[in-house]
């Protein structure tokens, strides 16, 4: 069995590599290049345009943190919109809440979903099994632009970096449309890049600058994602009225009885306790 | 200028690489092989037996977290013992506290210190400038075995992994000697490996199992260290009487007026909020 070393440049002189035991699939769609691999330590994983997206081994971290944080701040969330998230892991976690009524998922590239259903059932296996989930294969920016005001309690932007198909999901126009699409109780969580390496830090600061002009409440929270550059990754928490700590409802969330491998109520608070250099960066933006 | 790619196997099929702009030094001592490199993104860095130790770019994270956490729990610490820590960064941070009386540093390999003084003044520059710092070039286990009881308020074990020269610093005998060397107010902080990859998780669990039989209070706390395997790293907090959260004294610590780039009082609490899978691992050990 020939090993193929998958290598990603985290920055132009820093690299992360995984020895793949198999290159399962390679395809170029109108939007991007998609590759699926198998490996010993990380299990199966896939990349878009050569950048690591999801592995079987550590996907629970990302999907716990994007999903459970907002539900522990507003446990009454009923209507959820997922932008991106083609691997299905975010929809899977949201679908664990029995009281949630609708989960609309807008993914620009249907092939990502279909290939994840084939190769990554751990994340995508739920997509065709839960009647509350509706898939839309279209551009996320165009979708939120035309949606009726106050359609959703929660929008989860589970996107790639702001280069290529993900670019529109980091614009002021997109955030403004999301604001309108949210109810007065609305929360937006978005993939918010990383503070450590220059290029990701710049993307983090740009997103923060835009979001705080649109939403009255905006901050970021952190988690350990080994496959992403530096391992130090962020989600943004933007909201019309709820503060992620002052309005945190750990008891209500714990009463849902969900078993989670990364998220818990202490960690919820801890995730918002940012390093001083990150706070300084955000404060000065 | 020829680039040399420095590569470390995080596990046998996962790799982290930095393009070095210069290989500054290579030397084999009676204890280990030492290499110093220069690079664009991480600045200068050095490795022991091919494993990444310290970079100019992210050393502030490790040295903030090993030093300031115990001083914010017992701000009256006066006598400090550092085991290992040859790069000098831990001594540098501890020396920022004017009220600390003595800083004894026991490093097995004098060459690490001398080379860091030459190539990494950012961490080692303080070692020959602060009269409170005394260097001992001997084995840490032998040192704590012969030291008078209750000699120190704080022991910081700034060691390599439990393979090679660092092995003795992960033994029950070592922890027992440390317990005796500590005052009744004593705290021990040790490099505690990582929960994510198998080999580091096993080392984490072994250290925890031993420490909790010796110290009445033992837990771990986490931080983001991009250069270490998975980027998710831990220190252990072992203590005779102080609990890291119940006895946390943020106001007293803040009154020291130290500017820190990673550590702060909120992050102190957040660092002890562990992911569920890490809590489960430690609880079941």
Nearest chain A alpha carbon to B13? A19
pLDDT score at B69: 98
Mean pLDDT of A218-244: 98
Average model confidence (pLDDT) for chain B?
96
Distance of residue A245 Cα from the nearest chain B Cα, in angstroms: 12
- One of B139, B158, B266, B280 is an active-site residue; which one? B158
Q: Specify which residues A134 forms β-bridges with.
A: A104
pLDDT score at A285: 74
Among 3.40.50.460, 3.40.50.1400, 3.40.50.150, 3.40.190.10, name the CATH number for the domain at A59-284. 3.40.50.150
Q: Closest Cα partner for A229 from A13, A2, A30, A46?
A: A13
Lowest mean pLDDT among A99-103, A162-166, A196-200: A162-166
Mean pLDDT of A18-41: 97
Say if B206 is an interface residue toward chain A (CB within 8 Å).
no
Q: Indicate the pLDDT class of residue B7, thresholds 50, 70 and 90.
A: very high
Q: Dig out the tokens for A281 from the structure.
A: 């960066």
Q: What are the DSSP calls for B159-201, one per residue?
A: ---SSGGGGGGGSHHHHHHHHHHEEEEEEEEEE---SSSHHHH
Say if A250 is an interface residue toward chain B (CB within 8 Å).
no
Q: Indicate the pLDDT class of residue A166, thresholds 50, 70 and 90.
A: confident
Contact B275 A269 (CB under 8 A): no
CATH superfamily, domain at B59-283: Vaccinia Virus protein VP39 (3.40.50.150)
Residues B153, B182: Cα–Cα separation, whole Å: 6
Contact A275 B264 (CB under 8 A): yes
Q: What is the CA radius of gyration of chain A?
A: 18
pLDDT score at B2: 57
CB nearest B13 (choices: A41, A224, A267):
A41
Q: Indicate the pLDDT class of residue B128, thresholds 50, 70 and 90.
A: very high
Q: Indicate the pLDDT class of residue B166, thresholds 50, 70 and 90.
A: confident
Contact A277 B262 (CB under 8 A): yes
Say if A9 is an interface residue toward chain B (CB within 8 Å).
no
Mean pLDDT of A156-164: 91
Contact B18 A14 (CB under 8 A): yes
Residues in B 217-246 with any Cβ partner in A closer than 8 A: 222, 224, 226, 230-232
Summarize pLDDT for B175-194 with one digit per residue, the tens: 999 999 999 999 999 999 99
The burial of A77, by beta-carbon neighbours within 10 Å (0-12 exposed, 13-18 middle, 19 or more buried), is given as: buried
Is A58 one of the annotated active-site residues of the chain?
Answer: no
Is the pLDDT reported for residue A3 higher than 80?
no
Is the pLDDT reported for residue B3 higher than 80?
no
Distance of residue A177 Cα from the nearest chain B Cα, in angstroms: 34
pLDDT score at A36: 98
Q: Which chain A residues are within 8 Å of B272, Cβ to Cβ?
A: 270
Say if A40 is an interface residue toward chain B (CB within 8 Å).
yes
| CATH code, residues B4-54 | 2.30.140.10
Say if B283 is an interface residue toward chain A (CB within 8 Å).
no
Q: Which chain A residues are within 8 Å of B274, Cβ to Cβ?
A: 266-267
Torsion of Cα atoms, A69 then A72 then A77 then A78, to 10°: 90
Is the pLDDT reported for residue A222 higher than 80?
yes
Contact A42 B15 (CB under 8 A): no
Q: What is the CA radius of gyration of chain B?
A: 18
Q: Which chain B residues are within 8 Å of A197, Cβ to Cβ?
A: 41
ipTM for the complex shown: 0.96
Summarize pLDDT for A104-122 with one digit per residue, the tens: 999 999 999 999 999 999 9
Q: Which chain B residues are within 8 Å of A275, Cβ to Cβ?
A: 61, 224, 261-264, 267
Summarize pLDDT for B57-89 with one digit per residue, the tens: 999 999 999 999 999 999 999 999 999 999 999
Is the pLDDT reported for residue A88 higher than 60?
yes
pLDDT score at B163: 85
Q: Indicate the pLDDT class of residue A2, thresholds 50, 70 and 90.
A: low
Q: Specify which residues A220 forms β-bridges with.
A: A236
Contact B15 A11 (CB under 8 A): no
CB nearest A274 (choices: B267, B269, B272):
B267
Contact B261 A269 (CB under 8 A): no
pTM comes to: 0.97
Q: Which chain A residues are within 8 Å of B262, Cβ to Cβ?
A: 275-277
Is the pLDDT reported for residue A1 higher than 60?
no
pLDDT score at A42: 98
Summarize pLDDT for B45-63 with one digit per residue, the tens: 999 999 999 999 999 999 9
Say if B136 is an interface residue toward chain A (CB within 8 Å).
no
- One of A87, A158, A184, A283 is an active-site residue; which one? A158
User: Three-class SS string for chain A?
Assistant: CCCEEEEEEEECCEEEEEEEEEEEEEEECCCCEEEEEEECCCCCEEEECCEEEEECCCHHHHHHHHHHHHHHHCCCCCEEEEEECCCCHHHHHHCCCCCCCEEEEECCCHHHHHHHHHHCHHHHCCCCCCCCEEEECCCHHHHHHHCCCCCEEEEEEECCCCCHHHHHHHCHHHHHHHHHHEEEEEEEEEECCCCCCHHHHHHHHHHHHHHHHHCCEEEEEEEECCCCCCCEEEEEEEECCCCCCCCCCHHHHHHCCCCCCCCCHHHHHHHCCCCHHHHHHHHHC
Rounded percentage of chain A residues whose pLDDT exceeds 90: 95
Residues A72, A80: Cα–Cα separation, whole Å: 14
Name the residue ranges covered by the structural domains of chain B. Answer: 4-54, 59-283
Q: Dig out the tokens for B207 from the structure.
A: 């250290």
pLDDT score at B53: 97
Mean pLDDT of A54-68: 98
Mean pLDDT of A70-79: 98
Q: Evaluate whether the domain defined by A4-55 bears CATH number 2.30.140.10.
A: yes
Distance of residue A274 Cα from the nearest chain B Cα, in angstroms: 6
CB nearest B276 (choices: A226, A262, A272):
A262
Is the pLDDT reported for residue B268 higher than 90?
yes
Mean pLDDT of A31-37: 97
pLDDT score at A7: 97
Distance of residue B267 Cα from the nearest chain A Cα, in angstroms: 5
Residues A153, A182: Cα–Cα separation, whole Å: 6
Q: Which chain B residues are within 8 Å of A281, Cβ to Cβ?
A: none
For residue A51, report the phi and psi dihedrals to the nearest 5 degrees.
Answer: -105, 135
Say if B250 is an interface residue toward chain A (CB within 8 Å).
no
Is the pLDDT reported for residue A163 higher than 90?
no
């Amino acid at each position: 069995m020939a090993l193929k070393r998958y290598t990603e440049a985290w920055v132009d002189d820093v690299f992360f590599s995984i020895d793949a035991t198999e290159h399962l699939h390679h395809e170029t769609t109108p939007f991007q290049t998609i590759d699926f691999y198998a490996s010993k330590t990380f299990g199966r994983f896939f990349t878009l345009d050569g950048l690591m997206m999801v592995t079987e081994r550590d996907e629970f971290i990302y999907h716990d943190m994007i999903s459970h944080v907002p539900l522990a701040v507003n446990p009454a969330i009923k209507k959820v919109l997922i932008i991106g998230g083609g691997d299905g892991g975010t929809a899977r976690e949201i679908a664990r809440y029995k009281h949630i009524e609708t989960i609309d998922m807008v993914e620009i590239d249907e092939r990502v979903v279909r290939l994840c259903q084939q190769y990554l059932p751990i994340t995508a296996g739920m997509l065709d099994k839960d009647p509350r989930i509706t898939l839309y294969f279209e551009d996320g920016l165009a979708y939120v632009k035309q949606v009726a005001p106050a359609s959703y309690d929660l929008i989860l932007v589970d996107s790639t970096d702001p280069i290529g198909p993900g670019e529109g999901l980091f614009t002021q126009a997109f955030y403004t449309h999301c604001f309108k699409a949210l109810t007065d109780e609305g929360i937006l969580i978005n993939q918010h890049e990383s503070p450590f390496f220059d290029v990701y830090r710049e993307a983090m600061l740009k997103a923060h600058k835009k979001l705080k002009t649109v939403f009255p409440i905006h901050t970021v929270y952190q988690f350990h994602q080994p496959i992403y550059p530096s391992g130090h990754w962020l989600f943004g928490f933007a909201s019309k009225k709820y503060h992620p700590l002052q309005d945190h409802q750990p008891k209500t969330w714990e009463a849902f009885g969900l078993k989670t491998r990364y998220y818990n109520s202490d960690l919820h608070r801890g995730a918002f306790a940012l390093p001083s250099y990150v706070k300084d960066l955000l404060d000065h933006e």
